[in-house]
Amino acid sequence: MTTTLDQLPIRLAVDPDGAFPDLVRHLQNGVYSGALQLTGNRQDAEDVTQETFVRVYRALDGYNADRIRHLQLRPWVWTIALNLCRNRARSIARHPVAPLEGDRVDVLEDAATQAVDNAGLEEWRRRLSALPGPQRTAVVLHHVVGLPHAEIAESTGRSESTTRSDVRRGLARLRAVIEEEAR
Amino acid sequence: MTSKDATVEGLGALRRPAPDTLLETVLMRTDLADSYTEIAGPTGRAFVAWNGRGITAFVPVEAVGTRADFEMRH
Q: In terms of DSSP bridges, do strands B35-41 and B44-51 run parallel, antiparallel, or are they unpaired?
A: antiparallel
pLDDT at A97 (0 to 100):
63
pTM attached to this predicted model: 0.83
Contact B32 A57 (CB under 8 A): yes
CB-nearest partner of A49 from B1, B2, B18:
B18
Consecutive 10-residue averages of pLDDT for chain A (183 residues): 88 94 97 95 95 97 96 97 92 68 49 78 91 97 98 97 98 94 85
DSSP H or E segment with residue A113: helix A111-129
pLDDT at B4 (0 to 100):
57
Interacting residues of A162 by C-beta distance below 8 A, sequence separation 6+: A134, A153
Q: How far is it, in rounded angstroms, from Cα A3 to Cα B70?
A: 22
What values do phi and psi take at A153, rounded to 5? -60, -45
Q: How far is it, in rounded angstroms, from Cα A67 to Cα A70?
A: 5
Phi-psi region of A40 (alpha: psi -120 to 50; beta: other; left: phi over 0): left
Interface confidence (ipTM) of the complex: 0.86
Alpha helix locations (H) across chain B?
4-12, 22-29, 61-64, 67-73
Angle in degrees, CA A119, A156, A50, rounded to 5: 55
Chain A contact set for B8 (CB, 8 A): 143, 171
DSSP A146: -
CB-nearest partner of B25 from A31, A50, A182:
A50
pLDDT at A106 (0 to 100):
46
Chain A contact set for B2 (CB, 8 A): 175, 178-179, 182
Contact B14 A179 (CB under 8 A): no
Given a cut of 70, is residue B1 above it in pLDDT? no
- Exposure string (b/e) for A114-153, b if CB count within 10 Å is 16 or more? eeeebeebeebbebbeebeebbbbbbbbbbbbebebebbb
- pLDDT tens figures, B3-47: 558 999 999 999 999 999 999 999 999 988 888 888 898 889 998
Q: How far is it, in rounded angstroms, from Cα A53 to Cα A136?
A: 23
Give the mutation candidate from A47, A57, A181 for the B interface (greatest B CB count, under 10 A).
A57
DSSP A4: -
Q: How far is it, in rounded angstroms, from Cα A97 to Cα A82?
A: 20
Give the mutation candidate from A44, A49, A143 for the B interface (greatest B CB count, under 10 A).
A143
Q: How far is it, in rounded angstroms, from Cα A72 to Cα A149?
A: 14
Rg for chain B (alpha carbons), in Å?
Answer: 22
Interacting residues of A120 by C-beta distance below 8 A, sequence separation 6+: none
Chain B contact set for A140 (CB, 8 A): 11
DSSP, residue by residue, A155-174:
HHT--HHHHHHHHHHHHHHH
Q: How far is B44 from chain A (nearest CA, A)?
A: 28
